[in-house]
Every structure is written in C-alpha cells, then in structure tokens.
Amino acid sequence: MSHKVLRQILIGASLSFVALGAPTAMSDPASIRSDIDPATVKPAKATPLGLYLTPKEAHRALSENPDILFIDVRDPIEVTFVGHAEGVDKIIPVGLTTHEVDPETRQYSMVTNDGFVADVDAFVAAQGKTKSDPIFVSCRSGSRSAVAARKLAAAGFTNVWNLVEGFEGDKAADGTRAKNGWRNAGLPWSYKLAPGVAWQSCGGSETRAC
C-alpha cells in the first residue's frame, strides 16, 4: 500500500462523522479554504505569499486532496521525541539543533539547514509536482514554517501554506503548549514515521539530505 493511499485512509477516516449531504467529493487544490485573515497573522508567522491554515483546515484539505504535499520542517530529533501529524510526506528541517546553549534563551541553539530549498526542490520533483502546486509546511508553532515558506517563495514557489499553529501550538498562560496546534486539536498524529518520510543528512561540511 502506497504512502499516499495510507494517508488518505488515515486522514479520511477521522472525517467519517461528516453529516449526510455534506460535500465529500474530491475538490481541486485551488479550492483550499482558510478563514484566517492575513492581517491578523503575527509577523513571526507571516509569509510573502499570505497563505495560512489552521491545523483543522489543513487536515480537511489533505482529506479532500491527498496529493497535496505536506512537509514538516522541524529538526528530526524533535519529531522523534514529540511526534508528528499523520499524513506528513517528508521531514525536511529548515534548521538543525546544535549542542551549544544560547545564553539568552537557555535553550540549544539552531543552525540553518543550507540545503533546505534544494532538498524541497528535489522532493517536489520526485513527486511529479511543480513550484506552483500546493505545499503545506508545519513546525512547532508556525514560526520556523514561516521561515521555510519565505525561503521557498524566494526560490520561486508560489503555493506554500503555513500552518500557523504548528504541531504543538502556541504557549498558554502557564507556558505549556496546550493552547492550540495539530495535536491539541485532536487530529491524528504519531511517533512512528511512514516509509520514506524520514530525512537523513549526508554529513560533511554541507547540511544536505542524502
């Protein structure tokens, strides 16, 4: 069973409660629906394309259009320990965690994955897609995926949608990520990666996927 078919089954199953008479036919990717007003998106999550989705909107679009590419741009180790949305097609990190601690944030610093755009280019081409086909990008809470969308827009991609709440969501008043996001919305997620989803670095001086 192909990954795309498996994704359609997993994501589509969670929409089985849709009432009779509701639209169930496959729709064109151009009809991706979002109720987000771009003017309300925080600068850290904004992109020049102005295309934004909540997790629920992304989940519905992926259910209606299983061929839409869905990329998680977090560090692979973060994905391993935190989990990821069911239906992600590829992990392609826009940044990678180092072993150096930032004195201001008191968290491990990150370095840019210089091969990010090239890796996305190669993946998109391998899927038989073009730079005008829709791509969903997600991270922890929408900021790194915005960086990813900006990089892709600068490289000529025209249909990149940022999941502004990400997988874990924004911080609540108590500092926990229990406010919104894919996982908090009760959408399907997993710790296990489907075949072909994992990203691997070739190592060496360049951070590129093998």
* Digit-coded pLDDT (tens) for 105-137: 899 999 999 999 999 999 999 999 999 999 999
What's the chain's Rg over C-alpha atoms? 17
Q: Which residues contact 111 (CB under 8 A, 6 or more apart)?
A: 95, 96, 98, 207
Instruction: Give the domain 3-15+45-190 fold.
Output: Oxidized Rhodanese; domain 1 (3.40.250)
Task: Give me the pLDDT at residue 207, please.
Answer: 53
pLDDT at 3: 54
The reported pLDDT for the residue numbered 138 is: 98
Look up tokens 């991270």; give the residue: 139
Closest CA to 197 of 95, 89, 118, 102: 89
Neighbours of 140 (CB within 10 A): 21
pTM (predicted TM-score): 0.83
Q: How far apart are CA 62 and CA 38, in angstroms?
A: 21
Three-state secondary structure of the chain: CCHHHHHHHHHHHCCCCCCCCCCCCCCCHHHCCCCCCHHHCCHHHCCCCCCEECHHHHHHHHHHCCCCEEEECCCHHHHHHHCEECCCCEECCCEEEEEEECCCCCCEEEEECCCHHHHHHHHHHHCCCCCCCCEEEECCCCHHHHHHHHHHHHCCCCCEEEECCCCCCCCCCCCCCCCCCCCCCCCCEECCCCCCCCCCECCCCCCCEC
Instruction: Count the neighbouring beta carbons within 10 Å of the beta carbon of residue 206.
Output: 11
d(C-alpha 95, C-alpha 101), whole Å: 15
- Regions of the chain where pLDDT drops below 50: 5, 9-27, 204-206
**Tokens found for residue 151:** 């990089």
